[in-house]
Amino acid sequence: MTKYLLLLFIVMAQGQNHAAFDGPYIFINGNKLVEKKIINNKVISKTLETSSYDTIYYSEKSTFHKVSKIAALSDIHGQFDLLIRLLQNNKIIDKSLNWSFEEGHLVIVGDIFDRGDKVNEILWFIYELEAQAKSKGGRVHYLLGNHEYMVLYGDLRYIHEKYNKSSKLLNLEYDELYSNNTILGRWLRSKATIVKINDIIFTHAGISKDFIAYENFNIEKINNKMRQSIPRLKELRKLRRSGKSNNFYDMYFGKNSLIWYRGYFEEQLTDSDILKILKLVDADHIVVGHTSNEKVVQLYNNKIIGVDSSIKKGEYGELVFIKDKRFSRATLNGELIELK
Ligand code: ZN
């Protein structure tokens, strides 16, 4: 068992007394790595071998072909325990939290951050699972949602109060715990916001007509633009909030952007509107999170799949399982129900 998994078990075993435990947060300090953990409300620091972690993370690829099976879920919002149950019961991971989805792809369609109190645990778990999956011919895709970007641009309104305590103890703002001088921060900055697997596009909130009208649709280019904008995001947001218009910010981070749009669920779109969007983006289906439902849902004749199954409440959750062009809800108990 790896060190992260061992740590996760310790964290899980702490049960209710969670506020006093957090981390690790690993800071890159020149050519040193400094690990900080909070144990019993105290910060424990340790210098690590520089070889303990990669410090360079290359941009994730944006398109994948011939993938035999896919599972996707979203909006985990710090609900580590429920996430583990859902993945175990659907055989994505085994009892020891190791990858068991073979050459399948698991897509986390954004929003691990905010609301709940086990965000850091989930990030390390996904970090570890990603490497395991790759070594088995599978893949984990962690797409950035609006709550990832909110933390990256310093909008900290939704963090759990535990993280206010952690930040105070570590003498940093919460977003600095994921800055570009941290291992998880660099890893996050390499992630995609939109990915295409076979003929299916995955993105946190959806692709609006406005977005495609603004941008010639090229997934690789869109991901790169979003990655490259991260260092300027705080400044762009400030300018926008002071009333200065900024088309780029509005289209990429505004209400009809890939990370905030709710149109598939809230606007009166027709099947033919959806077919037009799909044609422009050269896909047969779009899988989104962000808008919460009680379970995984399909809209517009299975063209749009909504995977935010309200895991954030900490009670129940589902994922979508895709194989041979068939879409099924995978329930918390591991039952498959075909979407129709
Ligand atoms: Zn969201």
Q: What is the whole-number distance in angstroms between the Cα of residue 326 and the centre of ligand 1?
A: 26
- Per-residue CA distances from 21 to 7, 74, 97, 117, 140 (Å): 11, 25, 21, 10, 27
pLDDT at 27 over 80: yes
Q: What is the whole-number distance in angstroms between the Cα of residue 111 and the centre of ligand 1?
A: 6
Ion ligand 1: protein residues whose beta carbon lies under 5 Å: 111, 145-146, 290
Confidence band, pLDDT 50/70/90 cuts, at residue 93: very high
pLDDT at 306 over 50: yes
Q: What is the pLDDT of residue 8?
A: 56
Task: Look up residue 144 and give its two tokens.
Answer: 């950035």
How is residue 136 annotated by DSSP? T
Q: What is the pLDDT of residue 20?
A: 81
Q: What is the whole-number distance in angstroms between the Cα of residue 206 and the centre of ligand 1?
A: 10
Kind of pairing, strands 22-29 and 32-39? Answer: antiparallel
d(C-alpha 75, C-alpha 73), whole Å? 7
pLDDT by residue (tens digit) across 218-261?
999 999 999 999 999 999 999 988 988 889 999 999 999 999 99
Of the two residues 207 and 245, the one the predictor is more confident about is 207
Q: What is the whole-number distance in angstroms between the Cα of residue 146 and the centre of ligand 1?
A: 5
Q: pTM (2 decimals)?
A: 0.94
- Per-residue CA distances from 35 to 32, 47, 175, 301 (Å): 10, 6, 17, 49
Mean pLDDT for the stretch of residues 178-203: 98
pLDDT at 54 over 60: yes
pLDDT at 14 over 60: no
Residue type, 68: S
pLDDT at 108 over 90: yes
Q: What is the whole-number distance in angstroms between the Cα of residue 167 and the centre of ligand 1?
A: 23
d(C-alpha 301, C-alpha 50), whole Å? 51
* Average pLDDT value over all residues in the chain: 94
Q: What is the whole-number distance in angstroms between the Cα of residue 289 and the centre of ligand 1?
A: 7
Q: What is the whole-number distance in angstroms between the Cα of residue 39 and the centre of ligand 1?
A: 31
Mean pLDDT for the stretch of residues 163-192: 97
